[in-house]
């Protein structure tokens, strides 16, 4: 078993200009065989977390346990962890075979023929056998990426750590490698922590995703949990493409008043708000419906500002007649909607999210 526990993990970088808390009291259990994606905006502490798990960065506070064994003081090479870097970090003077052998020779005392066998097996798994005698400089980015993966896989570690391993690949190759990486991980069953700033990558790859912001864990859950039940406004805005629409609103009784619109709430929703009046209303672009005529209290006449064709869908930017804020609706690509026209946007009550205006916590 190789479950990985982060227990109140903290990293403070001391500098002349003041301390930087890169990771703040982070606790999380990653199950044996799980694919966990750490995701968040630039500077939120993803790489620092990964580097602490790898043993490449000292820990300011808290504990890391691998299969119940504290590893804070265990050297990187003795942690039974293999890391794949964004830059691939291959040795340029060594062939692919030598690159793959190297990590194994360092970390095990397997006999030579067994090492050879493992390298061949791993190369076959990644379809890189024809490249074994080439040097990294003679490979494409995608091929180097496979070799970097191969070097991690050949070691048969308890944990894979991956730091944005696909970010140097073009979009098509990245999409292919996403699927392949998932397949490999599932086949090998190795506990994996994968860092990315790309929410699409997180949503499509992770068994669970952990969303970080400014060193703090915002939420950990399955992609669908984080999408449908975001714990706060940050998660709601980070997960989903295009991002959730947010409106600053004030509640008076059962009515939310925003910039150019009013939205009436059912008794049940009002109860969930527990007296709060300073609120943020959140609506996902894919939950806004464009309908023929306004027929209910959650239908709004709006003006079409911009239509962004995305192929199978259009992103339609709308404004309320007396408002200044624009919001987005995702509409089927076959639907003809023209800029400057008026359309009716329906925002049913069961799709709205409501957050505390001050703390960003989800109220409903
Ligand atoms: P990115 O996606 O841009 O790589 P990240 O989420 O991986 O970002 P980290 O690299 O972990 O973020 O950085 C977290 C914070 O710690 C940032 O504010 C960063 O400036 C700071 N930091 C990272 N490394 C050091 C260091 N060696 N010395 C001082 N501050 C550092």
How many A from CA of 230 to the centre of ligand 1? 25
Nearest ligand 1 atom to the CA of 47 is: 7
Q: Where are the alpha helices (DSSP H) in the chain?
A: 46-54, 96-107, 112-125, 141-153, 171-188, 199-205, 223-228, 233-238, 267-272
Place of tokens 């050949």: 154
The per-residue pLDDT for 1 is: 56
Q: Are strands 342-346 and 20-30 parallel, antiparallel or unpaired?
A: unpaired
Spatial separation of the C-alpha atoms in residues 286 and 263, rounded to whole Å: 19
The per-residue pLDDT for 335 is: 81
Nearest residue to 145 (alpha-carbon basis) of 69, 92, 88: 88
The per-residue pLDDT for 168 is: 84
Task: Find the residues whose C-beta lies inside 6 A of ligand 1.
Answer: 13, 15, 20, 22, 40, 42-48, 197
How many A from CA of 62 to the centre of ligand 1? 19
Of all protein residues, whose CA lies closest to atom 1 belonging to ligand 1? 42
Number of residues in the chain: 364
Spatial separation of the C-alpha atoms in residues 159 and 155, rounded to whole Å: 10
How many A from CA of 22 to the centre of ligand 1? 6
pTM over 0.90: yes
The per-residue pLDDT for 107 is: 73
Nearest ligand 1 atom to the CA of 11 is: 16
Of all protein residues, whose CA lies closest to atom 19 belonging to ligand 1? 43
Which domains does the chain show, CATH number per domain? 4-238 (3.40.50.300), 245-356 (2.40.50.140)
Please provide residue 200's backbone torsions phi and psi, each rounded to the nearest 5 degrees. Answer: -65, -45
Spatial separation of the C-alpha atoms in residues 57 and 20, rounded to whole Å: 14
The per-residue pLDDT for 311 is: 87
Whether 37 and 204 have beta carbons less than 8 Å apart is answered as no
Distances (CA, A) of 39 to 128, 131, 133, 164, 325: 30, 33, 36, 10, 29
**Ranges in the chain, pLDDT < 70:** 1
């Amino acid at each position: 078993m190789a479950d990985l526990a982060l227990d109140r993990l903290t990293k403070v970088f001391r500098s002349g200009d003041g301390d930087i808390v890169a990771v703040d009291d982070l606790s999380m259990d990653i199950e044996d065989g799980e694919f966990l994606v750490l995701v968040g905006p630039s500077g939120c502490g993803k790489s620092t977390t990964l580097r602490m798990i790898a043993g490449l960065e000292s820990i300011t506070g808290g504990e890391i346990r691998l299969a119940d064994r504290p590893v804070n003081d265990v050297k990187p090479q003795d942690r039974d962890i293999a890391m794949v870097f964004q830059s691939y970090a291959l040795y340029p003077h060594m062939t692919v075979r030598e690159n793959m052998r190297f990590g194994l020779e360092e970390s095990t005392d397997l006999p030579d023929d067994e090492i050879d066998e493992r390298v061949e097996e791993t190369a076959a798994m990644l379809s890189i056998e024809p490249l074994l005698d080439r040097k990294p400089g003679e490979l494409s980015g995608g091929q180097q990426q496979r070799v970097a993966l191969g070097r991690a896989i050949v070691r048969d570690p308890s944990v894979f750590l991956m730091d944005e391993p696909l970010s140097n690949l073009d979009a098509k190759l990245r999409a292919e490698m996403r699927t392949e990486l998932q397949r490999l991980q599932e086949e090998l069953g190795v506990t994996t922590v994968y860092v990315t700033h790309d929410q699409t990558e997180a949503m499509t790859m992770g068994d669970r995703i952990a969303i970080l912001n400014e060193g703090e864990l915002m939420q950990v859950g399955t992609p669908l949990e984080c999408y449908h039940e975001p714990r706060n406004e940050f998660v709601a805005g980070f997960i989903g493409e295009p991002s959730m629409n947010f409106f600053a609103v004030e509640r008076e009784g059962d009515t939310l008043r925003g910039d150019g619109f009013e939205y009436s709430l059912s008794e049940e929703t009002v109860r969930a708000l527990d007296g709060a009046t300073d609120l943020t209303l959140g609506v996902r672009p894919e939950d806004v419906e464009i309908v023929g005529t306004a027929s209910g209290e959650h239908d709004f006449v709006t003006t079409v500002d911009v239509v962004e064709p995305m192929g199978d869908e259009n992103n339609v930017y709308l404004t309320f007649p007396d408002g200044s804020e624009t919001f987005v609706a995702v509409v089927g690509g076959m639907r003809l909607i023209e800029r400057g026209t008026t359309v009716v946007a329906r925002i049913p009550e069961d799709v709205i999210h409501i957050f505390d205006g001050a703390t960003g916590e989800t109220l409903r």
